[in-house]
Amino acid sequence: MSCFELGYPFINLFGRNEHEPGLYPNQLGAIGAATAHFSVRKEPALVTMPTGTGKTAVMILLSYILKSKKILVITPSQLVRKQIAEQFADAKLLVRNHILKKDYLPRVYELKSEIAVKETWDSILAENDVCVAIPGTLNKIISNGALISPDAFDLVCVDEAHHSRANSWTNILQYFKNAKQLLLTATPFRRDKKDIKARLIYSFPLKQAYQEGLFSQIKYVPVPRPTAMTDEEINVAIAKKTEEVYKNRAHHAHKIIIRTDGKTKANELLQIYKNHTKLNLALIHSGLGDGVIEKRIQLLKDNKIDGVLCVDMMGEGYDFPALKIAAIHVPHKSLSITLQFIGRIARTNIEESKIATVIASEHDLQIESAHLYRENSDWSIILPDLHSKIIEGTQQEQDFSDSFETIKDDDEIPMVDVSAITLQLDNFLPFFHAKLYRIFQRNRTSTDPIIDMFREIDFSPVSLFNNPTVRHFSISRDHKVAIHVICQLRQPSWVIENDSIADITNELVIVYYNESQSILFICSTVKETELYEHIADSLLESNGLHEMIYLPHLKRVMAGWQNEKLYNVGMKSRKTKGNDEAYKQILGSLAQKGVLPSDKFSYTRGHSFGAGYDSVLKKEMMLGVSTSSKVWSLEEKKIIYFIEWCNAIATKINDPSMDGLSMPLSDLDTGIVVQEIPAENIFFADWDAPIYEKNTIVGFMDDDGVIVEEALLCSCDISIGARTAKEVELEISKNGTVVRIVFSIYPTVSYYYHADTACKLYIKQHSFGKDPDAFLEILNESPIHLFFEDLSSLSGKVYYKSNLDISIFPPDKITQVSWPSNVNIQKEFYTAEERKNLPSTILAIHDYILETAKAEFDAVYYDHSSLEIADVIALRKGLVRFYHCKKQDGDEPRCSVDDMYEVIGQAVKSVHWANRKILNKQLVARADSNKINEKIKKGSLALIKAILDEFESPNIPVEIVIVQPGLKSTGHTTNQADAFRRINILLSGADEYLKAVSSCQLKVMSS
C-alpha cells in the first residue's frame, strides 16, 4: 500500500483544540467538493482559492483522502517547484497541528532535469510517492512515450491551473488523461480568454478571504503623474515613494517587491533606486542561474536586503509572506496577472499582515472596466468584486453547459472516413449574428403548442447543402436552445465523380427561442434566407406562425443610445428600380454625419451598424440591424453570452416605449408596421429593387404544363385587382398572358395563386423548375410595393407615409394641345400591318410626338416595347425628356381617372432611369444592331452618350411628359370636374414625389 493509503485512517481535518487547530473552513470545503466530485465524475476538477488560503495543503490532504498511489504535481516555475516539493516532504504545519502523522509523509522527487533512461524512471517511480515538475522538463520526457507509462500516476495536481490551456501543460494532462486531475488556482481565467478545461467544483470568494483575515487589505498609494513628466521622472517618483513607505512599514520584517516588464528596464530601475534612494535591492530574473537566484532570495530571508526587483520571478505560487510592499513601475494589463501579483503581498501568515501596500503612478488603464490606478481607488473593494464577477460568470457558464443533453453526436459521415470529433459546449464561439422571427398562434384561442424547439431538423431539402449529415445535435430544455453541427461533402471543381476526394465543411446552427418575448433567434454560419425559413418551418407546430421582425420594431435595439458612433449606414432609395443610388451606403467612423437633412425625402432607412452607450441596458453596445430582420455584433463568445445578448435585444424589440427614446438616424423613415392594407386607393404596384437587379427569368405555364410566355420577371406588368382590408388581387402579365396572385397581409405576409388563375409562374435556372411556389417565395423575401394616390407605399407590412406636400398641380405645367386633324388621338401607334392601308399623312400619337421631338431635339430614341424607359426619349444639350403616351378613349376627352392612373404610374416609375450612366447603358442595350434604325429616329448612340456625358451630376434632371389627349383641363362637365380634381391630386402627388427623389419635373400635354 502507498503512504497515502496507509496514512488515510490517521487524518484529522477538524483539529483537537485551539492550540491544535484544524483546517480553514475553505480548505474543508475544497476537500469535500473534490471528494464528492471524484466519487461520481471522471472529468478534471477545478478549485479556486485566493493566494495564501491553503491550496497546497488541500493538494496534500486530497492525496490521502483519495487514497492515491503515485502523484504528479505540475508547477509553473522552478522556485515554486522547490517550495511544493519541500511542503509535500515535510508538511510542517499539517504535522504540527496533528492533521497528518509524520510517519506517513511521502517520499518526494523534484524533477530538475530531463531523464532519458527508462530504468532511471522506473527507479524514481518505485522509490518515490510524489514527483514535482515544471512543464518544460516533463514535456521532453513524455514526448518519448517509452520512458514513462501514461498510467504511472493516478492523481495529477496542477498548481496555478490557469496555465493549463498552454500547449506545454495540455500535452501533459492529455498524456496522463487516465489519472484523476485536480487543478488549483487563485485566478481561474486567462488573458487570452481561454477556458480552463475542468469542472469548477469549489470557489472561495476573495471578498470572504478578506473578511476572514486570510488575505491582506490592499492599500493603493498613488504617485501623481503630471502630463509633462518623463518616464524616468515617474520611475524616480515611484522609487522615492517606495522608500518612504518602507521607512514607515508596519513591521521591520516586511520587504519590497518591485515589478517591471523587461530585463533592460530592470537594470535601469536598479540604477534609479541606487541613485535616488538608500534601499538595498537585489535583481532577480530568468537570465540568472538557479544558484544566483537562490542566494539572493536567501539574502532576503536573512533580512540582509530590503527587497527584490523582479522580472517574471517570485510571482504566482511563490510563498514568501514577508513581501508586503509592491512597487509597480509597469502595470499588468489583465485582471488575472494583477491578482496573481497582488497575491504575493497579500499573505497573512506574518506579523502585522493586515495591510499590504501597492505603489504606482496614476493613469487611466482599465482592467475589466475598472480604473485601479486612480487616486481614490479602493483595491480592497474593486478587486474582490471583479474576482467575484468572473467566478460567478464561470459558474453560470458551467450551469448553462450542464443544461444540455446530446441527442445526436459524431455520426459516421458517408463516403469519407473522418475521425470522430469531441464536441464540448465551451468550444463553441459563435459570431453574434441572428435572423429574428416573431412566433405567434394561428388560432389565438387555441392552447395547442406553437413550436417544438427540440425537434430534429432534416436539412437535406435545403438546396444550399450537398448530402448534409447532422453531426451533432444537443438541446437545453431549460434555456430553449438547440445546437446543430451539419457536415456536408463538396467535391472540388477539379475532380469528377470521385467520392474519396471531397472537401468536408462543418456548419454551425444555434436556435434559441425567447418564450417570454415570442422571438426565435437563428444563428448560422450559413446566412441564407432559404435555411432560416426551413429551420423556422421545421420547428413550428400546426398552430404556429412566424414572420420577420420589421425595421420599425427592430430599430428599437438602438433606442436610448448615447454618444453613438455609426460606422456603416445604408439608405434605401424611395425609387424602386435598381440604379447606382438604389441603395446608398456610407462608411466611416462618423457615418451618421454623412446623412444629409434632405436625405429623408429621397431615402428610407436601411441597415446600420455602430456603437454607443445604451442607457436602457446600462452598458456599451456595438451592433447592427438590417431590413431583413437580422441583428449582429462583432463578438465571438460562448453560447451563454450569445443567449444573454439575444435576451437584451428581445426585451427592447417588444417594448413600444422604446419608440419615445432618442435613437440614431431618427430622421430617416423606417415606416410603421400595419396589420391592414391602408384604405386609400392603390395607385400602382412595382417590383422591389432586388427584382430589377437580378435577371430572373420566369415562364407562364398553363394548366397543360405548357410554357406559353417567357420573360424577365422585372419586365412583367403588375395590375391591381379587387381588394379588401386584408388582401389585394394582383395580375402579373406579359404580352396578354396573365397570372393572378393574391397578396395577403394578415396574419402574416404571404402570396398565393388565385383560384381562377389560368397560368402559374415558374423560375428558370438551367431549365424551368417544378415548383410554382418558388416564385411566391421570392415575393416573400422581396414584396411587391403598393403605391397609393398620395404616393405613400406599402412593402409587406411596412407602411411608409407620404412626406409630400400635395396640393394643386400647377396649371402652367399642363400644355393644352390643339391636336392636328391628321393625328388619330385614339391610337397610340400603328402596327406595320395597319400602316400598309393608311396614307402616310395619318399619324398616331407616337408618330406626332416623334416628329415634334425631332424638330426640337438633337437625338430622338423610340423605346416603345417591353421594359421601356418611356415611349420616346429626346435629348439635347442640357435637357433630356421622357414622353409617356396614352390614347384617348372615345370621341371626346372625358378625363378618365383609370387612364391617368396607368400613365402617371409609368411616368413615376421612369424616374429610375434619370441617371446618365444607367440611361446610356440601357439605351445601348436596347438598340438591337439589326433594328437600330427602328430605335434611333434622330442622331446616334455616340451623340446620345456625348449629350449625357456633359451633365456634371450623375443624376440628371429629366423632364417627364405625360401625353394624354383624353385629358382636358378646362370646360368640364360636372362629372369631368370631379374627375379632374382627383386627377389633379394624382398629378400633384407624382410631381412632388419626383422632386423629392430626384431633380426631375413632371409636365402634361392634354387637349
**Residue closest to 153 by CA, chosen among 132, 137, 168, 136:** 132
Using CA atoms, how far apart are residues 450 and 452, in angstroms rounded to an integer? 7
Q: Which helix (H) or strand (E) holds 720?
A: strand 717-723
Using CA atoms, how far apart are residues 183 and 864, in angstroms rounded to an integer? 81
**Pairing state of beta strands 45-48 and 180-185?**
parallel
List the grid coordinates of 689.
429593387
**Residue closest to 325 by CA, chosen among 244, 255, 221:** 255
Q: How many residues does the chain have?
A: 1007
Which segments within 166-287 are labelled E, that is strand?
180-185, 199-203, 217-223, 255-259, 281-285
List the grid coordinates of 82.
522547490
**Residues whose CB is less than 8 angstroms from the CB of residue 239 and which lie 6 or more positions away in sequence, other chains included:** 269, 272, 273, 276, 277, 279, 327
Model pLDDT, residue 524: 96
CB 697 within 8 A of CB 711: yes
Model pLDDT, residue 408: 66
Model pLDDT, residue 579: 46
Residue tagged 456610407 (cell numbers): 586
- Examine residue 656 and say whether the peptide bond preceding it is cis (omega within 30 degrees of 0): no
**Residues whose CB is less than 8 angstroms from the CB of residue 656 and which lie 6 or more positions away in sequence, other chains included:** none
Q: Which helix (H) or strand (E) holds 996?
A: helix 974-997
**Residues whose CB is less than 8 angstroms from the CB of residue 70 and which lie 6 or more positions away in sequence, other chains included:** 2, 125, 129, 130, 131, 152, 153, 154, 155
CB 44 within 8 A of CB 176: no
Model pLDDT, residue 688: 86
pTM above the 0.85 mark?
no
Alpha carbons within 13 angstroms on the beta-carbon side of residue 901 total: 15
**Residue closest to 629 by CA, chosen among 796, 390, 742:** 796
- Residue 947 corresponds to which amino acid? I
Model pLDDT, residue 164: 52
Model pLDDT, residue 832: 84
Model pLDDT, residue 275: 94
Domains identified in the chain and CATH numbers: 3-204 (3.40.50.300), 211-397 (3.40.50.300), 404-548 (no CATH), 553-670 (no CATH), 682-800 (no CATH), 811-1006 (3.40.91)
Give tens-digit pLDDT for 195-215: 667 888 998 888 888 888 888
Residue 65: strand pairing partners: none
Helices (H) and strands (E) in the chain, counts: 27, 50
Please list the helix, strand and coil fractions of the chain in percent, rounded to the nearest 5, in that order: 30, 30, 40
**Residues whose CB is less than 8 angstroms from the CB of residue 546 and which lie 6 or more positions away in sequence, other chains included:** 437, 438, 439, 440, 520, 536, 537, 540, 748
Residue tagged 518612504 (cell numbers): 244
Model pLDDT, residue 376: 65
Using CA atoms, how far apart are residues 649 and 631, in angstroms rounded to an integer? 9
Which residues of the chain carry a pLDDT beneath 50? 191-192, 316-317, 411-422, 576-580
Model pLDDT, residue 412: 44
CB 613 within 8 A of CB 563: yes
